[in-house]
Structure 1
Amino acid sequence: MSMTHYMELLAVNQPWNLILFMAIPVILAETVAITELVILFTRRFDGNVRRLNKICSIIGGFYFLFVFIYLFISAVIPLTMNGEWRGWIDVIAVTFYLLGVIPLVGLSLLDLHIIGRSWSEEKKLKVHAIFVGIFLIVAHIAMIFGMLDPSLGSGHGHHMNM
């Protein structure tokens, strides 16, 4: 069975690639998601939970921006230039993984007051929650397509007997 470049990235150089490209961004993003729920329910815009939420969203956004730049330069451009994509499933997996940069950087910019400076706390909370939701959607699409055998998209899938 062949694998997508997304899954191959996580599988090689164990455990470092898994830690750098999956564990760190997901732990930061899920910490933001969980603390976001606490903030949404309590409406407390201060305190330790909000502080943790803010720290994780700022670090997560900038961390993933560096991941995005690194993978775009070292993987996406060479794969595209050399025609080495493994079909449309492979492209979707990698593209949606990298699309996570938009909501994560959005969270950072919001928490650094670069965007939404004049917004009410309610509006900031709403936009923050929307960014978290968008990240969860693109990350899950990346994971689902990343786990598929890319040859399934070509109509010539491998058949394995169990």
Structure 2
Amino acid sequence: MSMTHYMELLATNQPWNLIVFMAIPVILAETVAITELFILFNRDVSSGLRKLNKFAGIIGGFYFLGVFIYLFFKAVIPLTTGGGWRGIVDIIAVGFYLSGVIPLMGMALLEIGVIYKNKTPEQKMFIHAVFVAVFLAVAHIAMIFGMLNPNLLMISGGKM
């Protein structure tokens, strides 16, 4: 069975690609998501959990920016210019994976005070939660499409 470039990336060079491109970003993002629930429930913006949340958000955002830049130049540009995409499923999987940089960097920039400086703590908490939700949505779409056979949505003759 054929696989998407997303899944091929994770399956190649085991276990290193899986660690670098999936485990580290997911552990940081899930740390943010889980601690976010406790912070929102308790409205506690000064606890140790909030510090962990902030740390994971900043590190996760900048880490994934590095992943994005690396994969954009090493995979997206060559696949696009060389006609190497394996159909729309492949493009969706990789595109949604890389689009995770938007909410993750948004979270990091919010945490270091680059964006939304003049918002109240409650407004910042809301914006932060929106970034977490958007990241979880795009990451799950990437995973779902990444696990599909890329030929699934091809029209006969192997063309989209």
**Normalising by the residue count of structure 2, what TM-score does the alignment of the two structures yield?**
0.96
Q: How far apart, in 2, do the equivalents of 1:153 and 1:83 lie?
A: 17
For 2:153, what is the secondary structure of its paired residue?
helix
Please provide the CA RMSD for this pair. Answer: 0.6
1:46 aligns with 2:42: no
1:87 aligns with 2:87: yes
Match of 2:123 in 1: 123
Runs of 4 or more off by more than 3 Å in structure 1? none
* Alignment length (residue pairs): 156
1:96-151 deviation digits (Å, cap 9, x = unpaired): 00000000000000000111111100000000000000000000000000000001
Within the alignment, does 1:55 sit opposite 2:68 as a pair?
no
Query: Higher mean Cα deviation, 109-118 or 50-59?
Result: 109-118
Unaligned runs of 5+ in 2: none
Give a deviation string over 1:36-77, Cα, whole Å, max 9, x none. Answer: 000100001102000000000000000000000000000000
**What are the equivalent positions in structure 2 for 1:97-108 lying under 5 Å apart?**
97-108=97-108
Tell me, in whole angstroms, the C-alpha distance in 2 between the residues paired with 1:97 and 1:47. 31
Identity of paired residues, percent? 67
Q: What runs of 5+ residues in structure 1 fail to find an aligned partner? A: 157-162
3-state secondary structure, aligned to 2:79 = helix
TM-score if structure 1 supplies the norm length? Answer: 0.95
- Within 5 Å, which residues of 2 pair with 1:6-25? 6-25=6-25
